[in-house]
């Protein structure tokens, strides 16, 4: 068994489920911290375990270039290499490859430069799966083409066509029993999303992702397309919204039936001084924290909040101390973990709609920033 639905809320499309992988199960909805180079920056696997993290994401593009998937295979696979024994999802490298200006796409594959030394590399859909199998990923992603949120209709239509062809090649190449997810593209165009969803969900993947959102489109388009596309995805397989990590976007997407999320935002923003709280985000740089001897959030059970004050974090930030990155990352990941756990409980108790209301009320958000999807 790969996926089991535990409970579906009656007032929204929110659902709570379990995904089964070779390295353990994942209770959903869940947010996956990003470990681009086989490390979630500044925290150890033991710290992630203490937070309650169930699954991490690693980037195929980066690991293929450095240290190379052959080295990781020799090390005994990604889990042994990086010391994380829970599930790992690897992206296909497509998102990074197609964000580079000098990448050239042919029907066969993509020619792209290394961000490390500028050297040229050619990757096919089959290569992407072979690399992810060498890494020993639990959930692999197909190689897709992800155009910018502002791309023209014709450009997105071409991307949809190649994405389907590549998805079929990835599915027929797969040799392992790792899970493989297909990716629906189509930009902000509903007819292209419909076409992509029909073609991709017609292939026997273990789960399906929505790609090509949160890539520069406006907020209204994001919510319109997220809501529309999630409605086109099979009910009995995991649904993953790629690259989305803003808490309010996650809550709204869970309401639309999305199960999995990933984004660098909570960890990157932590390092840049933005800390998440139930009352909204705060900037630790602010002088008002110089003599504030409270934790970031009273009641937060993370190692940072149990042991350190805003004053100390403000000091570490301004003196560029390395410990700041670790403590801030622990807190923001705990915030994400607790948010997801709260949603899972609310769905199980059929009160997700009430949770959603209280979330919006407590975060003091600008009403113009809140989008509802009409359920």
Note the residues at the interface with Zn ion (CB under 5 A).
300, 302, 304-305, 331, 334
Instruction: Say how far apart CA 218 and CA 227 lie, in whole Å.
Output: 14
Joined tokens for residue 294: 């409270």
Residue number, 214 or 267, with CB nearest to Zn ion: 267
Q: Given the complex with Zn ion, which of 134 and 338 has the nearer CB atom? A: 338
Q: Which two tokens mark 292?
A: 């504030």
Q: C-beta of 43: minimal distance to Zn ion in Å?
A: 13
Catalytic residue numbers?
Answer: 91, 262
Contacts (Cβ under 8 Å, ≥6 apart) of 283: 273, 274, 275
Distance CA 94, CA 303 (A): 36
Alpha carbon separation from 216 to 83, 91, 249, 365 (Å, rounded): 35, 20, 14, 21
Name the residue nearer to Zn ion (CB basis): 11 or 49: 49
* 263: helix, strand or coil: strand
Q: How many CB atoms within 10 Å of residue 214?
A: 19
Smaller CB separation from Zn ion, 303 or 371: 303
On the question of a cis peptide bond just before residue 237, with omega within 30 degrees of 0, the verdict is: no
Q: Report the chain's terminal Cα–Cα distance, integer Å.
A: 31
Nearer to Zn ion, 290 or 301 (CB): 301
Please state, as a whole number, how many other Cβ atoms lie within 10 Å of the Cβ of residue 357. Answer: 11
């Amino acid at each position: 068994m790969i996926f089991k639905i535990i409970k579906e809320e009656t007032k929204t499309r929110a659902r709570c489920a379990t995904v089964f992988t070779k390295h353990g199960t994942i209770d959903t909805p869940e947010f996956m911290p990003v470990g681009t180079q086989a490390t979630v920056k500044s925290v150890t696997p033991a710290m992630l375990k203490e937070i309650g993290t169930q699954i991490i994401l690693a980037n195929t593009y980066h690991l293929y270039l450095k240290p190379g998937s052959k080295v990781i295979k020799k090390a005994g696979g990604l889990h042994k290499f990086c010391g994380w024994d829970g599930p790992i999802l690897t992206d296909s490298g497509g998102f990074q490859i197609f964000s580079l200006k000098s990448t050239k796409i042919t029907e066969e594959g993509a020619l792209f430069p290394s961000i490390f030394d500028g050297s040229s590399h050619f990757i096919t859909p089959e290569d992407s799966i072979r690399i992810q199998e060498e890494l020993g990923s639990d959930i692999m992603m197909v190689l897709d083409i992800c155009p910018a949120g502002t791309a023209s209709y014709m450009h997105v239509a071409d991307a949809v066509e190649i994405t389907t062809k590549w998805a079929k090649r990835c599915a027929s190449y797969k040799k392992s029993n790792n899970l493989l997810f297909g990716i629906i593209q189509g930009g902000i165009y509903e007819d292209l999303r419909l076409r992509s969803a029909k073609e991709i969900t017609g292939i026997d993947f273990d789960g399906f992702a929505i790609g090509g959102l949160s890539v520069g489109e406006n907020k209204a388009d994001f919510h319109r397309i997220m809501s529309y596309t999630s409605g086109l995805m099979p009910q009995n397989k995991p649904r993953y919204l790629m690259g989305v990590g803003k808490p309010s976007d996650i809550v709204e997407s869970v309401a639309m039936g999305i199960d999995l999320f990933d984004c660098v935002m909570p960890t990157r923003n932590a390092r840049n001084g933005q800390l998440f709280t139930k009352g909204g985000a705060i900037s630790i740089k602010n002088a008002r924290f110089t003599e504030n001897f409270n934790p970031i959030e009273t009641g937060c059970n993370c190692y940072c909040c149990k042991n350190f004050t805003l004053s100390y974090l403000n000091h570490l930030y301004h003196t560029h101390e390395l410990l700041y990155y670790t403590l801030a990352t622990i807190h923001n990941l705990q915030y994400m973990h607790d948010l997801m756990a709260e949603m899972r409980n609310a769905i199980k108790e059929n009160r997700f709609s009430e949770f959603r209301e209280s979330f919006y009320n407590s975060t003091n958000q600008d009403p113009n920033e809140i989008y509802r999807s009409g359920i």
